[in-house]
Structure 1
Amino acid sequence: MKWLRPIVLAWSVVLGIALGFGLCRKTGARAREGSSVALFGGTRTKDVSQHLARADATAVFGAVTLDLREAHIDDEATVDTVAVFGGVEVLVPRRWRLALSGRPIFGGFDDRTHGDKVLPADAPILKVHGLAVFGGVVVANEPAEGPRRSR
């Protein structure tokens, strides 16, 4: 049983760091229009803001889908993401430009948006920043199909 204590301690540290990132972002000085958090489960949030400026999504051992396809941004908006042993999916309309950046630590970021046409120079920009620790962040125009999707 001596081997169990370091494992429990390591998992506690990882979970504490992940929760700390989520709580700091939620209680920080910057106001958020929308936020989604999933701990050991899944959640789907649809944002229909008329003047979206900020949103966030945090998944710890779970999955979050943040649907922004019916939201409107005036010029620029930011979505902050954290995926720790889980996944975050951000759905965006085709009329937005995307700037995806982050820190992957044994995780990754994926831009699955479709550029069917050339966007005008004044198209709104969505900046997606994130942290992916043994998890992933995906930005797409349509939801992913697969066994984890419930109908």
Structure 2
Amino acid sequence: MIIGLFVIGVGMMFLLDNLGWLDFDFRIHVFPTILIAAGILKVLQTRSQSGVVVGGIMVVVGCLFMLKEMGWLNIDWRTLWPVFMIAAGVAVVFKSNRRAEASSTAFFTENHKDSDDTLINATAIMGSFKRRITTPEFRGGEITAIMGGCDLDLRQSSINGEAVLNVYALFGGITIKVPIDWTVVLDGTPIMGGFEEKTVPPTSTGKQLIVRGYVIMGGLEVRN
């Protein structure tokens, strides 16, 4: 419903601009609005703290673009882009510290390698992420690709019942490889993008992978 109302609103703005009732500028309205809306969708969809950070950064950048183009913010991009680089570095350091703490805690538990592989949390921003998961109890997780690509290989894993994998792609692509005995259910929303399933029809094994999320101007492919 939110996506439909957003598309209706953008269409009404274009219509009013074509009728001469509204002075519509693509740089001021469309691109920042798309970036803000995509960030809000990411924040609403994510289940991890890193996803909230990524969505929040998208919203902030969209607002800065809009304020600058409207003349309400007088700042040079030569001054602003190092701030984004520092913020990205802080996010990497924060994520590394959280991973180190999780590894220290898992060191005292049994089979911590399997417990690490049961849930996936992958983010690719202007880059590529490839990983092979080998666990007998995959439980899902979250994949984010922004102007980049993610390749997740689950063909040597198994599921006990049902697993949910949240995906989010903005100007990017996600490829998921699954075993032939898994049933894949695509429950996502492509926005000027596409969901594609190329899996072999499996026998009834009770193993089901549910893929949910948004693909905005990108693509998602699930295959064997």
Where on the TM-score scale, by shorter chain, does this alignment land: which range? 0.7 to 0.9
More helix as a share of residues: 2
Report the counterpart of residue 125 of structure 1 in structure 2.
Answer: 208
Report the counterpart of residue 149 of structure 1 in structure 2.
Answer: none
1:55-94 equivalence runs, <5 A: 55-94=141-180
More strand as a share of residues: 1
Please give the secondary structure, in 1, of the residue aligned with 2:47.
helix
How much has 1:130 moved relative to structure 2? 2.0
Indicate which of 16, 20, 26 corresponds to 2:43.
20
> What residue identity is the alignment partner of 1:103?
T
1:56–1:79 contact (8 Å) kept in structure 2 = yes
What is the distance in 2 between the residues matched to 1:21 and 1:80?
Answer: 12
What is the distance in 2 between the residues matched to 1:64 and 1:84?
Answer: 12
CA distance change for structure 1 residues 7 and 130 in 2, over 3 Å: closer, same or farther? closer
Please give the secondary structure, in 2, of the residue aligned with 1:13.
helix
Indicate which of 133, 156, 161 corresponds to 1:47.
133
2:122–2:129 contact (8 Å) kept in structure 1 = yes
How much has 1:64 moved relative to structure 2? 0.5
Report the counterpart of residue 220 of structure 2 in structure 1.
Answer: 137
1:84–1:133 contact (8 Å) kept in structure 2 = yes
> What residue identity is the alignment partner of 2:206?
A
Query: Cα deviations across residues 55-89 of structure 1 (Å, max 9, x unaligned)?
Result: 22110111001111111111111111111110111
What is the distance in 1 between the residues matched to 2:182 and 2:34?
Answer: 38
What is the distance in 1 between the residues matched to 2:170 and 2:188?
Answer: 13
> What residue identity is the alignment partner of 1:40?
M
Report the counterpart of residue 121 of structure 2 in structure 1.
Answer: 35
Q: CA RMSD in A?
A: 2.6
What is the distance in 2 between the residues matched to 1:99 and 1:86?
Answer: 21
Q: Which runs of 4+ in 1 moved over 3 A?
A: 2-12, 14-22
Q: Percent identity?
A: 29
2:182–2:205 contact (8 Å) kept in structure 1 = no
Residue-pair matches, total: 133
What is the distance in 2 between the residues matched to 1:18 and 1:85?
Answer: 15
| Bigger Cα displacement from structure 2, 82-91 vs 11-20 | 11-20
Q: Please report the TM-score for the alignment, with normalisation by the length of structure 2.
A: 0.52
What is the distance in 1 between the residues matched to 2:137 and 2:185?
Answer: 19
Q: Please report the TM-score for the alignment, with normalisation by the length of structure 1.
A: 0.74
What is the distance in 1 between the residues matched to 2:43 and 2:165?
Answer: 18
How much has 1:114 moved relative to structure 2? 2.2
Stretches of structure 2 lacking an aligned partner (at least 5 in a row):
1-24, 52-117
CA distance change for structure 1 residues 19 and 125 in 2, over 3 Å: closer, same or farther? closer
